[in-house]
A and B are shown apart, each in its own frame.
Chain A
């Protein structure tokens, strides 16, 4: 079989189950692919030997009928999830060599479901970035290039390693985390599907924290169905995370009925921001047309506080980050740079251990929480955040799901936007509001730009209604019929 890599996760599962494909073959093919795509720098740590061994056990289980939902399925893990006995860096120098003695709840569940990890995927340092250029372990390259232009492009971020590895078929699927768009924007940039579930759907226990009130694990895969399958194994209540929701997880694959007749799809008028690429706007209209053709009703809605979302996010997230990252002090784990005094050791360790973007956000967050500034920044941001959430609640009284673009542009080249953090932050303009409101949201590949780069459409749902998001995404994905592949990959 030369086209093992072309099988979707769902198809590979079927082939494993009917024994037309062995886990050793499947994992072996992906292990080779990981080696062949090393130029993308998608992995920080590979665990291929372990994966090949695990595949043998998986075959025994498949043979004896003890197979679990993901037995033998090779996946990648964003290097923000702590993995027992396997280095976990969060893309930072400060955690270089850190080997956790514990396993995150999400990866524990994936392992319990039989998934086999090929390694830990590169990311922006501490998940802070939209391009994967802030990783201490070097930037990830997108497998995509513009037509007629072979300059390397960014895969988006922060789950850039996950996106690139899925797009380049180096893994069948991957975990990501999303704080302001870190699953959805790279999914859009690399032509794959990615879902951030409702805040509280997946346990945050064992995921290196960036912004605790926003961070949420999610699934990245080639299509909507594969995302549903992977997310099913990741989600569920965890008593070790106080913010995890004590709710049952519905059968998301069963939600993919292909039928959205009568569904009310909302179009937030405030998302038609000036300067958005006309190609993106055209794709958005196309997406609405697909939904209408499938029997959905299109309803214009208003989310009046949208214009404040980005500013709000860039106060809340750095504030939480400045506190969450205080534990990287060189005392107990990770890198330590000695100093003559305790304070000097802190300064040396953190100065050397954190990159520029992380330092910038720690400074912003420390500033906005400081006495005399707290009310003007953090407290006001929390109030605006509540208004943004209220906007969505009101919109969802009229509609079942919202449809928007995922990102304002297609992928940009490595080196572009590097000197302007504000321009970089604008990448998240469509994804951040759902993050602030804690809503489930998904990006699907829906078309190509004029220079042949993938563009994504973005669906936002009611709290804990991933099922409707997935169902609608599945219908639009079929309508879009996105089959483009990165050249050379």
Chain B
């Protein structure tokens, strides 16, 4: 599906490739034993290696390597049994060694693919060019002192996976879908928490435009955009900008641009004169990284179920629609929640409650699935009461809200508040008697053909029973009596 942008002189196609920096979940940094936890005081998590003290040497962290392999397998990618760490040389105050240890020509993971989920429920394959391991830099803080900059090296040396896509994306929506899917896979794998706000997942977008069928245009790289929504915004703005430049007779300079979230625009970040020559060369402090095929096989054997597999299972085993299944598997926590609710219960009913009532409640309360107002166990208990006829679906909606506000379990609430459905025909009959007696005129009208009044009688009886009358029983009894 080609999505074109209409310019003043015709249609344009936007071409997007994404570079995602995903912070590896590991207790220690990529080449040092320093801890990686978020939120420590500045420079509390810095080893001698991270600070690049004289004579310090990097030692690769095995866990980070395994996480990269796991991620590569999750992207159905080639795992390179031999990869090489290179030095990327440049001077900056928050880069202590004056070089970043990265992988240049021989990354640990080669070509792979990722299926993005499109709004119509279909999927499209996006190529993965490579995944490599590298160190993060520290953080410069320019707002702490009038003339000096402060440096926090807590982040320096933390392992990142740079995941590069092919220029296969054709719209900002596809780019957003790619990021959502990638984040979902990383979270399923437990290799990156995917938190863009905290910066544990960052995205650079390469954007160019062309006439449909033409070769690729000149691209601009938009750096470090920190939410999926902003990535989409930045791409839309940048595509429009490039079209405008070309249509007014200009040409696009290959450059690095920065997204200004406040104004929703991109602007030049680094001019050509400051273009870096990184002088890559293999890091002589590290031997080539040689993976044991048995280690790769073990990781492969231990791979968790990934979102696409789970979605397929929901469709096949639970009979859910592709759309509902997609909604439920997007976040691993949602899927886990759903499966807890659905276990031993009607999976479609469970899916309805999760996707409508629970999601609605999350939206309303601003809570997340990780911290829901109602646990999966509580919701499951509620569904049991519907299933065994203890309460009606309508009462269940009320109990759901009570559970959200007050906690507890559904059965106790129903009992304590006398919300149990009345299926005792004697009690319902008594209520019908009273209602019919009090509305003799309407009974006459009904019997003379005004069928529509049936609803009125149902309402009145329900009111008289406090809403607890079993609707099916009520309907049946009422019908018989009115025919009477």
What is the interface of chain A, defined by CB distance below 8 A to chain B?
A: 81-82, 88, 90, 95, 98, 100-102, 104, 204-209, 211-213, 239-243, 319-320, 322-323, 325-327, 329, 331-333, 342-343, 346, 366, 369-371, 374, 378
Contacts and interface: CB of A to CB of B under 8 A. Distances in A.
A239 B53 CA distance: 18
B54 A241 contact: no
B89 A326 contact: yes
B272 interface: no
A329 B108 CA distance: 31
Nearest to B89: A323
A21 to B, nearest CB: 35
A331 B48 CA distance: 14
B93 A212 contact: no
B48 A327 contact: no
Contact of B54 (A211, A239, A327, A346): A327
Nearest to A331: B93
Contact of A323 (B53, B93, B99, B151): B99
Contacts of B96: 327, 331-332
Per CB-CB distance, the 7 closest pairs between chain A and chain B, nearest first, are A326-B98, A213-B284, A212-B284, A369-B279, A206-B55, A327-B52, A208-B54
Interface string B27-54: 0000000000000000000001001111
Nearest to A81: B55
B57 A331 contact: no
A104 B55 contact: yes
B434 interface: no
B319 to A, nearest CB: 54
Contacts of B87: 323
A100 B53 contact: yes
B46 to A, nearest CB: 10
A90 to B, nearest CB: 7
* Of listed A100, A326, A329, residue having the most chain B CB within 10 A: A326
Given A101-B48, A323-B87, A333-B54, 20 more contacts: A82-B53, A90-B54, A98-B54, A102-B48, A204-B55, A206-B56, A211-B284, A212-B285, A241-B59, A319-B281, A323-B99, A327-B54, A327-B96, A329-B93, A331-B93, A332-B53, A369-B89, A370-B279, A371-B277, A378-B281
A416 to B, nearest CB: 32
A243 B53 CA distance: 18
Contacts of A211: 284
B363 to A, nearest CB: 46
Given A212-B285, A242-B285, A374-B281, A326 B55 contact: no
Contacts of B55: 81-82, 100, 104, 204-209
Interface in B282-311: 284-287
Tell me the interface secondary structure of chain A in the complex. Answer: loop
Nearest to B151: A331
Contact of B60 (A207, A242, A319, A332): A242
Interface of B: 48, 51-60, 87, 89, 91-93, 96-99, 149, 151, 277, 279-281, 284-287
Contacts of A333: 53-54
Contacts of A323: 87, 89, 98-99, 279, 281
Contacts of A81: 55
B57 A204 contact: yes
A205 B56 contact: yes
A364 to B, nearest CB: 13
22 contacts: A82-B53, A82-B55, A88-B54, A98-B54, A102-B53, A104-B55, A204-B57, A205-B55, A212-B285, A241-B57, A243-B286, A326-B89, A327-B98, A329-B93, A329-B98, A331-B151, A342-B93, A342-B149, A369-B89, A369-B281, A371-B277, A374-B280
A38 B292 CA distance: 56
A352 to B, nearest CB: 16
B156 to A, nearest CB: 11
Nearest to B92: A342
Given A212-B285, A241-B57, A369-B281, A326 B97 contact: yes
Q: Which of B54, B91, B92, B287 is the most central at the interface, judged by chain A CB atoms within 10 Å of its CB?
A: B54
B98 A240 contact: no
Given A205-B56, A323-B87, A369-B279, A242 B284 contact: no
A343 B56 CA distance: 25
B279 A366 contact: yes
Contacts of B56: 205-206
Contacts of A206: 55-56
A231 B289 CA distance: 30
Nearest to A205: B57
A332 B55 CA distance: 14
Contacts of B89: 322-323, 326, 369
A329 B54 contact: no
Residue of B52, B277, B281 with most chain A CB atoms under a 10 A cut-off: B281
Given A243-B285, A331-B96, A326 B53 contact: no
Contacts of A205: 55-57
Contacts of A90: 54
B484 to A, nearest CB: 93
A332 B91 contact: no
Contact of B57 (A242, A325, A369): A242
A68 to B, nearest CB: 24
A82 B151 CA distance: 25
B57 A240 contact: yes
A320 B284 contact: yes
